[in-house]
A and B are shown apart, each in its own frame.
Chain A
């Protein structure tokens, strides 16, 4: 069955550095991949969507890559700030079913001054 993996351990980085989060998937080929941010006690908030025929997408300090050969997406935050501290979730459409999103377990990012 399809499986999505994100680093379960928290990522701690210093302010100003680039944070890179990884999302790996197995056993299927999604058409779309999305990244969300979740703060404690809040619902996830959409950040970026990338399609299988796109290699890279950017939005301000955010960059997402989608490598369908490696079955991996990388999410980068450049010039990170303490306000970027949150849990980041990747989500893919279901195998043979683009009606639903399947979420990874998320990676907690902590940016310290």
Chain B
């Protein structure tokens, strides 16, 4: 049973399109995250939700809109995709919002904008 699963694993799309990445966790965790890992492998937090409430929004362009229908799901919708959005996006979850607990990551979604 996969703890944090995200789909799709690969996404190739043209500039200007709108796309979504879905994430689900079956760990019963309260907190979920989206991270972006660029070509230099730098992993940077984008958003954090705790019990469906947005708690962190790290100066991400408003073309990126996370949505949490329930605490087990955190989806990421991206409007008007740009070349610079190409990266690997990771969903993660943790038992609670404080960072004294480990984070569980999904397998990643490799987004390529052409």
Contacts and interface: CB of A to CB of B under 8 A. Distances in A.
Chain A partners chain B: yes
Given A102-B45, A105-B40, A43 B100 contact: no
Contacts of A32: 99-100
Contacts, number: 63
B103 A101 contact: yes
> What size tier do the contact residues of chain B reach?
20 to 34
Contacts of B97: 99
Contacts of A93: 99-100
Interface string B76-114: 000000000000001010000111111111111000000
A99 B55 contact: yes
A25 to B, nearest CB: 14
Given A46-B103, A103-B44, 20 more contacts: A31-B99, A32-B100, A34-B102, A34-B103, A43-B4, A43-B105, A44-B105, A49-B102, A89-B43, A93-B100, A99-B48, A99-B99, A100-B33, A100-B48, A100-B56, A100-B58, A100-B99, A101-B99, A101-B103, A106-B43
